[in-house]
Chains A and B, each alone.
Chain A
Amino acid sequence: MPSQKNQALPNSETKALKIRKKGSLTQDWVGNLFSFPALFVMVAMVVYPLIYGIVISFYNTNLINRFEFVGLRYYGRLLTDMTFYKSILLTVWFTVVTVAGRAVLALLFSSILVKDNMPCKKLFRSILVLPWFFPDVVIGIVWKWLFNTNYGLFNFILQSLHIIDQPIEWLSNPSTAMWAVIVASIWKGFPFMMVMLMAALQTVPKDLYEAAELDGCNSFKQFQHVTFPGIMPVFSTTMMLEIMWCFKHFTMIWNLTKGGPVDATRVVSIDIYKTGFEYMRFGESSTRAVIVFVIIIAFTLLQKFLQRKKD
């Protein structure tokens, strides 16, 4: 608010108005100047490539010398392309399960870790945030080794506990590959949400809990009526970010399965990458990217709309 700043300066009202007008003019100018580099970055390096990407989606091109305008042909073709629908559904499935898993773990651990009487609080917190500090590629590779059929740790543990007799081919069996990928990405991602929620939980006033207890609320009701409303703003923001991040996630899945086996983990980001850089169909690949972009925009607008309705 610029007016706040000007309030200290004027004495008489007319003078105040004058200065405010003048002040806001100069401030306008300074604000624009300060934000210009960022604006430049976003226009030149985000908007321009984005529009360029949309343009490419109308062309049959190898990006070097062939630029053949095909109009909406790729869009039309996509409408009947079952593999594309399948990859969208897979992505939704991956996103929903991963984000839900992360949210459950984050809620569970953060609500325990914020308690004052928790022993070794700092130690446990440090251990639990550790996964967030490993690069995605590293996590992909480490989990690939853990899931290894013959020499992996997981099969060894499960076999020595006599839960399974034969080693499971986690990553090369279409029915388990997605689950393996989901587990790895929950492992990597829950700490971020946990830390955000811990910060939010610390802002919930303690006397509210006491009041709730006096009113006869059990712990579940306390969570429902005190904790959850208190952390809701942070929770929903973090959830939105997580959904966006999961929806476009590439690195861990690529390094674990490369989208296989038999396209069982071919989420949209991998689908788009393969269409472009493996089959060299760049126009089609861009078309897919544009559609995914539209879906995400629609989802965000829907979420905004629902939230406004609720408020």
Chain B
Amino acid sequence: MSAEAAKIEKKAEKSVVKHGKKVKRFPVVSLIIVILGSIGVLVPVYWMVITAFKPSTELFSIPPTIWPKNFTLQGFKNVIHLYDFPTYFLNSMIVVCGSTILTLVVSTLAGYAASRYNFKGKGAFLGFVLVTQMFPSVIMLIPYFRILRMYHLINTYLGLIIVYISFQTPLCTWLMYSYFKTIPKELDQAASIDGLNHWGIFWRINLPLAVPGLASTAIYSFINSWNEFQFALTLTSSERMKTVAVGIGEMLDDTNVFYSDMMAACILASIPLIIFFFFGQNLFFAGMTAGSVKE
């Protein structure tokens, strides 16, 4: 008995020592893996940025120049003056912000209801929210094309906003539902004893507490709508109404466009998302994972 105990103790001691060693030195292999991964991520990004600043003649030098010999902003100038990029940008902003705000209103209310109340058809409602994730979005493409045509909403902001709301609402509802579930219900009881009605409990107690979840859901919805390409491509045909994604997608079809211009356009199109990368990243991922991890 005692021999066994001693053995275990010895083993434990050994593992502590081992552990202590581990704390001091991080395994080099792991570090190398992460560094290689980072290089793999950064090289394409670097190549995009560097190409955007090259003059178009330098694109075709063999071997390619790793660092541009002549820095130029010509690519950016072309994109703005020749391709009407500011209009695309404005279109995207209107459509994406409009749909994101409306989606948030709808999905916050629904997510809150599902987390707090037991209403008729709640199970079916939540099930349906998840099922919509499985719909291949192309199945909606032709019906939407036809429906928007019927109501003369092709080539309008409203048309695209409606489509984007329909895409974002289900998963955003689910995200808000997960987030509201993490807010303790005891607060509701206290507030209800203090005489707040249902709306008051939602508006004054739960909504302020859900701001991080709200922010990350908003970022998610924004990114997804900003990324959307297929529906914007199909449902807008006039040059005036193109979104950024469609605008740069169509630059690619034009064989006369230089890659330096295209990369400049790519950088401009990424700006809103890169802002989130720098300023909203932690918030975003905290909100995204809050519900799923605690479940």
**Do A and B actually bind?**
yes
Decide if A160 touches B63 in the complex (CB within 8 Å).
Answer: yes
Flag whether B141 is at the interface (Cβ < 8 A). yes
Decide if B162 touches A130 in the complex (CB within 8 Å).
Answer: no
Flag whether A203 is at the interface (Cβ < 8 A). yes
Return chain A residues, CB-CB under 8 Å to B249: 137, 140-141, 254-255
Decide if A137 touches B106 in the complex (CB within 8 Å).
Answer: no
Known contacts A135-B227, A151-B59; A200/B288 CB under 8 A: no
Decide if B293 touches A269 in the complex (CB within 8 Å).
Answer: no
Decide if B133 touches A244 in the complex (CB within 8 Å).
Answer: yes
Decide if B288 touches A195 in the complex (CB within 8 Å).
Answer: yes
Flag whether B83 is at the interface (Cβ < 8 A). no
Distance (whole angstroms) from the CB of A65 to the closest CB of chain B: 12
Known contacts A24-B118, A195-B289, A214-B15; A136/B227 CB under 8 A: yes
Report which of B173, B227, B274, B277 forms a contact with A38, defined as CB distance below 8 A.
B173
Highest count of chain B CB atoms <10 Å: which of A34, A45, A233, A277: A34
**B191-202 contact mask (Cβ, 8 Å, vs A): 1 or 0:** 011000010001
Report which of B125, B193, B248, B293 forms a contact with A234, defined as CB distance below 8 A.
B293
**A257-283 contact mask (Cβ, 8 Å, vs B): 1 or 0:** 000000000001100110011000010
Distance (whole angstroms) from the CB of B158 to the closest CB of chain A: 12
In chain A, what residue has the closest Cβ to B46?
A153
**B12-54 contact mask (Cβ, 8 Å, vs A): 1 or 0:** 1001001100111110001101110110111111011001000
Return chain B residues, CB-CB under 8 Å to A105: 37
How many B residues have CB within 8 A of the partner chain?
Answer: 110
Decide if B117 touches A117 in the complex (CB within 8 Å).
Answer: no
Flag whether B100 is at the interface (Cβ < 8 A). no
Return chain B residues, CB-CB under 8 Å to A119: 26, 31
How many A residues have CB within 8 A of the partner chain?
Answer: 102
Return chain A residues, CB-CB under 8 Å to B266: 138, 141-142
Decide if B23 touches A199 in the complex (CB within 8 Å).
Answer: no
Return chain A residues, CB-CB under 8 Å to B1: none
Flag whether B151 is at the interface (Cβ < 8 A). no
Flag whether B214 is at the interface (Cβ < 8 A). no
Distance (whole angstroms) from the CB of A136 to the closest CB of chain B: 5
Residues of A bordering B, CB below 8 Å: 1-2, 4-5, 8, 24, 27-35, 37-39, 41-42, 45-46, 48-50, 52-53, 56, 63, 105, 108-109, 112-113, 115-119, 124, 126-131, 133-138, 140-146, 148, 150-151, 153, 156, 160, 187, 195-196, 199-200, 203, 210, 213-214, 233-234, 237-238, 241, 244, 247-248, 250-251, 254-255, 268-269, 272-273, 276-277, 282, 285-286, 289-290, 292-293, 296-297, 300
7 A–B pairs (Cβ distance < 8 Å), ordered by A:
A38-B125, A49-B140, A112-B30, A130-B42, A135-B226, A138-B266, A290-B139
